[in-house]
Amino acid sequence: APSENVNAPGLNFSSITPNKADAVTVPEGYEQAVVIRWGDPVLPGAPQFDFDNQTPEAQAQQFGFNNDFTDLIPVDGKPDTFLMVCNQEYTTGVHMFKGYKEGDPTENQVRVEMAAHGITVVEVKGEPGSGKLTPVLGEYNRRITASTEFELRGPAAGTFFTRTAADPTGTRVLGTIANCSGGITPWGTMISGEENYTNYFSGAETPPLDGLKEGWKRYGVGKDEDAHHWMKYEDRFDLSKEPNEVNRFGYLVEVNPHDPKSTPIKHSALGRMKREGGNIYVTPTGEVVTYCGDDSKFEYIYKFVSSRKIQPGKGAAAMESNMRILDEGTLYVAKFEGQKVENGKVPEGGYKGTGTWIPLLTTKADGSAQSHVDGMAAENVALWTRVAGDKVGATKMDRPEDIEPNPKTGKIYCALTNNSDRGVKEGQPGIDTPNPRVKNKSGQLLEITDEHTGTTFSWDLLLVCGDPAAADTYYGGFDKSKVSRISCPDNVTFDSHGNLWISTDGTNDTFDSNDGLFGVVLEGKDRGLTKQFLTVPFGAETCGPVVRDNRVLVAVQHPGETDDATADKPSSHWPDGGSSQPRPSVVAVWKKSGTIGA
């Protein structure tokens, strides 16, 4: 913990001491309660969770596994009541089932896993005098799984590479998987990114068509890094039987939580990558700009400037129009410039530079599309966006995770979580100003001052994370002896004061302690002051997060996911304690009296 406890508006709490507790640890004077756990009923009539007798039918009505992004959408006319949206990123059979055989799952296990993926909408209700939230089995509740029908739109839809035996139209896709991070749109929908979906497709190491060679290599298709073996029971996950199914994942998805019967959308006008969500900024003149990261080592940062404006209201007509905003506009990729850097030597005043947005693809209202990349057709830019980024010389970043505009200032913040291959991997670039460290273990936090609809920007590194005592770290120019240490930033959000909040994934690769949630001052004399607000249990990563004046929410993802831990030998018993199985859960934290950080 920092030697002195420095306070700032919104961050007036005693910083948490790093720890390895099998618990959510919150500052003194704060309380916490689980909102919902993996397996808790979501749909009216859903059965209670039964760890030893799980079924796909039950799981499809219950809260999914490994919650990642979460947020609260207020319900009109009901005080302190929200539609909580949450994505369920991935499953690990070995932690979900006793006696699980790695590489040889049963059909029941695979179908439970498929039902445990996707997106959940669940009504939650507050309690007077506390920040506690309780699920309500309400009419808007919904589970979207790996089997729910989506509409694929944009230049990739209906093309040769998105048509399958089961869907010759190339526009009706079953399910969303590997959803990571996300955002709420100003028109009241949820957007989410399909990230590491290639792990779900196996059965062939070389593509059956020459036209797929470059794409497979660039996206790691067929490499089977973390196979789920779903192909045993559904042919569409077998690359040798259905090589095009995998091309129907990797998009920004959009769900209308106000209509539980609506068909969710995959928007290919924003390209295809291993996408870490997306977040929207609306300019004072009403232009909608969406920022996205592609979270793999040496991947790119993108933005999409829509040509369609927002219609007011949440009625069917307005929603139909607004859910086309992400179908029309221009996709850009970022190229960064800055001074030459020496590994680990922080320049006086920190790292900074300029950059340009390079156009890749424009999609028009009538569905026609134009490529801005020499030698690539529009549909190929939408499908193999990484290849397009390579061709235009975009800057390869240290794993761009969540990227989000600060609603107070319009500045854009992107977590570059880490990159152990930086400066050492053959065929990849060495260090540069925005990615200044060899074998980057601890990551950095990028701040972009963007023209939004324009093509130039300036940038700096707000944080170069890791041990504050080490010469290679930088905390916004703040006195490093007075900050909480932070490593591996992943998700970001903002409080009502304009402070940045960061949740982490991978702290224990840098320090011998658990992940957590941190507040960072952005503006004024205390810029760079970093304070740890909570820690999550052993083996977990901190997701969500939501920071409101009266409560904080974090999604505790994969508690107990440690080397050698299995359901037969769990390493965590959070949240239920005793000898219970660990269960990924969303947790609310609030101050006993008064406002968060006041």
Contact code string over 152-191 relative to ligand FEO, x by CB under 6 A? ----------------------------x-----------
Task: Tell me if 493 contacts Ca ion by CB under 5 A.
Answer: yes
Give, for 124, the enclosing helix (H) or strand (E): strand 118-126
CA atoms within 13 A on the CB side of 55: 6
Task: Tell me if 404 contacts Ca ion by CB under 5 A.
Answer: yes
Task: Tell me if 515 contacts Ca ion by CB under 5 A.
Answer: no
CB of 417 to Ca ion, least distance (A): 6
Work out what residue 404 binds among ligand FEO, Ca ion, none; the CB cut-off runs from 5 to 8 Å by kind. Ca ion
Using Cβ positions, the residue closest to Ca ion within the complex turns out to be 505
Please calculate the CA angle 494-498-501 and round it to the nearest 5 degrees. 35
Q: Which of 402, 450, 460, 526 binds Ca ion (CB under 5 A)?
A: 402
Residues in CB range of 258: below 8 A, 6 or more apart:
83, 140, 188, 314, 319
Please calculate the CA angle 431-444-436 and round it to the nearest 5 degrees. 15
Cα–Cα distance measured from residue 344 to residue 453, given in angstroms and rounded to the nearest whole number:
34
196 vs 247, beta carbon nearer Ca ion:
196
CB of 189 to ligand FEO, least distance (A): 21
180 vs 486, beta carbon nearer Ca ion:
180
282 vs 488, beta carbon nearer ligand FEO:
488
Beta-bridge partners for 445: 415, 463
CB of 90 to Ca ion, least distance (A): 11
Both tokens of 259, joined, read 């209509």
Task: Tell me if 490 contacts Ca ion by CB under 5 A.
Answer: yes
- Binders of Ca ion among 59-98, rule CB under 5 A? none
Cα–Cα distance measured from residue 552 to residue 548, given in angstroms and rounded to the nearest whole number:
6
Work out what residue 40 binds among Ca ion, ligand FEO, none; the CB cut-off runs from 5 to 8 Å by kind. none
Cα–Cα distance measured from residue 519 to residue 444, given in angstroms and rounded to the nearest whole number:
15
Contact code string over 277-296 relative to ligand FEO, x by CB under 6 A? ------------------x-
CB of 378 to Ca ion, least distance (A): 29
Cα–Cα distance measured from residue 529 to residue 522, given in angstroms and rounded to the nearest whole number:
8
Residue 575, preceding peptide bond in cis (omega within 30° of 0):
yes
Residue 138's φ and ψ, nearest 5 degrees, are -90, 180
Q: How many residues at the interface with Ca ion, by CB under 5 A?
A: 8
Task: Tell me if 167 contacts Ca ion by CB under 5 A.
Answer: no
Task: Tell me if 276 contacts ligand FEO by CB under 6 A.
Answer: yes
Going by C-alpha positions, the residue among 485, 492, 563 that lies closest to residue 18 is 485
Cα–Cα distance measured from residue 290 to residue 500, given in angstroms and rounded to the nearest whole number:
19
- Binders of ligand FEO among 399-418, rule CB under 6 A? 401
Considering only the stretches 80-88, 175-183, 361-369, 431-439, report the one whose residues sit in contact with Ca ion under the rule CB under 5 A. Answer: 175-183
Return the C-alpha torsion angle 469, 472, 477, 481, nearest 10. 0
Work out what residue 67 binds among Ca ion, ligand FEO, none; the CB cut-off runs from 5 to 8 Å by kind. none
Task: Tell me if 195 contacts ligand FEO by CB under 6 A.
Answer: yes
CA atoms within 13 A on the CB side of 129: 0
Cα–Cα distance measured from residue 206 to residue 155, given in angstroms and rounded to the nearest whole number:
26
CB of 195 to ligand FEO, least distance (A): 5
Q: Which residues bind Ca ion (CB under 5 A)?
A: 180, 401-402, 404, 490-491, 493, 505
Kindly list the residues in this chain that would bind ligand FEO in the complex (CB under 6 A).
89, 180, 195, 276, 295, 401
